[in-house]
Every structure is written in structure tokens, then in C-alpha cells.
Amino acid sequence: MGKPLPADYNTTETRSMLLNIGPSHPAMHGVIRIIAELDGETVTNIDTEIGYLHRAFEKSCEQGQYNVALPYSDRLNYVSPLISNVGYCLSVERLLGIDTTDRCKYIRVIMCEISRITDHLTCVGASSMELGAFTVFLYMIKAREWFWELVESVTGARLTISYARVGGLKADLPADFAEKTLHAIAETRKVLKEVEGLLNSNRIFYDRMKDTGVISKEDALSYGITGPFLRSTGVDLDVRRYAPSLVYDRLNFDIPVGEHGDNLDRYYVRMEEMQQSMRIIEQALRDIPAGEVTVDLAGQSVKAYQMVDDAKMGLTRGMKQVAVVADPTLEGSSGAQHANVYSANKLVALPKKEDTYGNIEGLMNHFKLVMHGHGIRPVKGEAYVPVEGANGELGFFVVSDGTDKPYRVRVRPPCFAIMSALHKCLVGDQVADIIPTFGSVNMIAGELDR
């Protein structure tokens, strides 16, 4: 027989254990630290530290001109940067009181929905991999590659794209963009069907996702949560439907909602949102207007450097009627497409390259827009425009003091509200449930901690 129990055994003090998860834990992505208080395997309390990727986005935006902030916005949600680009530009355009061309609006919608798909593919793929479903991760990344190739063909980059401009876009769509996009959509639908076959009836995946990370509808609303995380509780709130910008009010799409507010419902919502985004892209490609097409009356062209060399020698006869070939860095950025995707307001829009390099008026216009002390100068005022980011409402609040730099830029990141309510989802769950729940947040640190 073993030793007898001490007389005060039933009154022995018990203490909880503190466990650090992250920031070096692979599921925390190197940027989040969760201090979990445990009673055995049960989480009784958590403290979340988010301050591992702070880059002073807002203050940086206030140091330069309005268009200078666009590359910074790429680094917010670097999985779907096009949405951040467009959201910032919409706020500045509201300050200026200007509107963009219809073709520009359709292109912005198409590129934003492509970004939403790439974001959800990454979220579902990475979260599945963290639960052991590595095949799903490979399938999702394969599909994401098709859409990144589309983004690269339009913007010249894959992540840090800097594609939008205040008043328009950097370039029009390439000639074969629609065909390639429809092919990518068809192939991605096959991939999503394969993934559903791998996950939806998988007992391990289902049991680890069902009834874990639960948050009530009331708690989600009180914390200001939006996006798929909120819609998993049954609230059909989507900025694209209730505060539509661009041409979302002309397009038909459904808002997927869950019922239980758990990790499984968030997975279902994101999978269906990808289907709806592809539906939106197909409609936008069908309805997009051709826009204006400009042609050279003389039918001539000349390299910009040749024009400069000739002008130095005084050989300017007939130069006014010559179209300049400015060697655009991207297909679609030449002057023939400039009017399709950019505002005609010279106080806002950079001139096309041909004018900048080919005539003094274009050069002066460009100079006035990029030099410090000049540039875009909205009247004094403030504007806030929300857009539906991949994780919820993403809004930019911009204040103008009448100069060429924003007086104040404030970002409303969707991840911040979710992270502030993370304890509501984790307390009462097991240690193993922390990983799928944090994965379903789809936290992007660049957007969360600015």
C-alpha cells in the first residue's frame, strides 16, 4: 500500500499555471504573444500582447504627400493589399469631392475581390495546415498562385503592389486579363470542391472546429467585430451591401452567414465568400465599360528620348502632332488607356507618361503634383470611407488642413476588435483549441498594430 494521505489533503492550495504561447510559436506567426492561464488543460484567462510589429503607419502617412501613403497601405494587410489601396484612395477622393470613371470603379472592384479570394485561400489553407491538413494548404496555395499571377500582370508586383492612385489607377487591365481571370476562377472552383471533400467530412477537422472558439452575437457586436468573424454568428453585416462604394450596388451577390459563431462556421463563411467573390468578378468583367480610346491624329510615334534630343537641336517642326512612346513599365499604362482609369482633374491626377516626357505642359503638371509644398491639396475637412476588407470593415479617416500633406490619418483595422475579444472565444476551451481559434481570426499584424 502507498503512503497515507496527509490530514490537510483536501485543503491543499491549488494554483493555476501560466503558459506563454508565442511570439516564436509558429502558429503565432512571430508577432503575437498569448499568456494563457490554465487549470490543467482548460484555459481560464488569457492576456494578449500585440506589440511585435509596430511600424508607425499613421504617423508616416502624415509626413508625406497624399499619394506617398499608398505604398504604406500595401503593408497593412499584406495578404490583400489592393483593398487597403482602394480604401485609402476613396477617403482622399471624398475629401477632394471627385469621382472616378466607371471603368476605374469596375477595375477596383475586380482587383479587390481577387485580393479577398487570395486572403481567404491563405487563411483557410494555413489554418488547416496548423491542424495537420498539409494537403489542403498545398491545394490552396496552388489556387492563390493563379490569382497572384493575375495581380502581377496588372500591377507589376504580387504583394506590395501600390496600384491605386488618388483619382484613379496606375494602369488599365492587360488585353488578355478577362480570359486569364475566368480560367483561374474555373480552376479555383475545382480546388475548393476538392478541399471541401477533404475537410467537411473529416472527423478530426470537424471535431476540432465544431463548438470551439465560440462567441455570441451580442458579444461580437459589443466589441465592434465585423467581417466573417461577425457573420459566423448570424449577423449579415457587409459594408459592400450596407454602405456600398464603387459599383457594388450594381452587382448581385449573397452574404454568407453562420449560426453558432464557432470556428467551423467561420470556415464555412470564408469558403462561401470566395464563391461569391468569384461571382462578383464574373459580373464585373461582363459589365465593365470599354471607356474612352484616344488615337494620334497624325498616326506617328517617336521615343521620348528622341524627341528630347531633337528639341535640343531645334528640330521641333511637326513635333506637336507626334505621339510619344514612353516605354511604359506595364502593359496598360500608356496614354491610350490613361483616360479610362484616371480622373481628368489636373489638380489631382498625374499626367500620362507621354505628356510628362513629351511636352512642357505635362512636365509642369507632373512637377506641381509631386513637389513638396504643391501636390494634391484638399480643402480643410475630414472624411471617412469604410470598405469591406477580407477580415471586416476597414476604414480610413483622413483630415486635411489645406496643405499637400494629410494632417491626420487614422485606420480602423478589422483585426483589432477581434483580438480585443479573443478572451471571449478562448476562456473555457482547451489549450489545443487556441491554435484553430487564433487561425480563424486571420490576424494580419501589419494591419492590427500600425
What pLDDT, in 10s, does the model give residues 400-426? Answer: 999 999 999 999 999 999 999 999 999
Q: Do 133 and 228 fall within a single domain?
A: yes
Residue 355 Cα distances to 163, 351, 418, angstroms: 20, 6, 48
Domain presence at residue 10: no
Q: Quick check: helix, strand or coil at residue 388?
A: strand
State the total domains in the chain.
2
C-alpha span between 238 and 393 (Å, rounded): 8
Q: Do 217 and 145 fall within a single domain?
A: yes
| Cβ atoms 215, 221 nearer than 8 A | no
Q: Do 392 and 356 fall within a single domain?
A: no
Q: Do 215 and 331 fall within a single domain?
A: no
Domain presence at residue 16: no
Q: CB neighbours (10 Å) of residue 62?
A: 15
Query: Please, which pLDDT band fits residue 127 given cuts at 50, 70 and 90?
Result: very high
Q: Does position 289 have pLDDT exceeding 50, yes or no? A: yes
Could you tell me the residue range of the domain that residue 354 belongs to?
301-370
Q: Do 92 and 119 fall within a single domain?
A: yes
> In the prediction, which pLDDT does 292 show?
41
Domain presence at residue 377: no
Q: Does position 295 have pLDDT exceeding 50, yes or no? A: no
Query: Please, which pLDDT band fits residue 376 given cuts at 50, 70 and 90?
Result: confident
Domain presence at residue 335: yes
Q: For residue 406, report the phi and psi dihedrals to the nearest 5 degrees.
A: -65, 135
Domain presence at residue 47: no
pLDDT, tens digit, 9 for 90 and up, residues 32-72: 999 999 998 999 999 999 888 888 899 999 998 998 899 99
Q: Do 248 and 313 fall within a single domain?
A: no
Q: CA geometry: angle at 228 spanning 280 and 38, to 5°? A: 160
pLDDT, tens digit, 9 for 90 and up, residues 204-249: 999 999 999 999 999 999 999 999 999 999 999 999 999 999 999 9
Domain presence at residue 50: no
Q: Do 139 and 240 fall within a single domain?
A: yes
> In the prediction, which pLDDT does 356 show?
82
Q: Do 257 and 306 fall within a single domain?
A: no
Cell numbers describing residue 1? 500500500
Q: Do 73 and 161 fall within a single domain?
A: yes
> Over pLDDT 90: what percentage of the chain?
63
Domain presence at residue 18: no
CA 86 to chain centre: 9
pLDDT, tens digit, 9 for 90 and up, residues 144-184: 999 999 999 999 888 889 999 998 898 889 888 999 999 99
> In the prediction, which pLDDT does 80 show?
93
Query: Please, which pLDDT band fits residue 2 given cuts at 50, 70 and 90?
Result: low
Q: For residue 165, report the phi and psi dihedrals to the nearest 5 degrees.
A: -135, 150
Query: Please, which pLDDT band fits residue 287 given cuts at 50, 70 and 90?
Result: very high
Residue 180 Cα distances to 147, 324, 374, angstroms: 9, 30, 41
> In the prediction, which pLDDT does 359 show?
80
C-alpha span between 433 and 427 (Å, rounded): 10
CATH value at residue 62: 1.10.645.10
C-alpha span between 350 and 333 (Å, rounded): 12
**Pairing status of strand 33-39 against strand 42-49:** antiparallel
| Cβ atoms 265, 115 nearer than 8 A | no
Between 9-13, 105-109, 201-205, 428-432, the lowest mean confidence (pLDDT) is in 9-13
Q: Do 90 and 149 fall within a single domain?
A: yes
> In the prediction, which pLDDT does 333 show?
60
Q: Do 139 and 202 fall within a single domain?
A: yes
Domain presence at residue 135: yes
| Cβ atoms 91, 103 nearer than 8 A | no
Q: Do 344 and 324 fall within a single domain?
A: yes
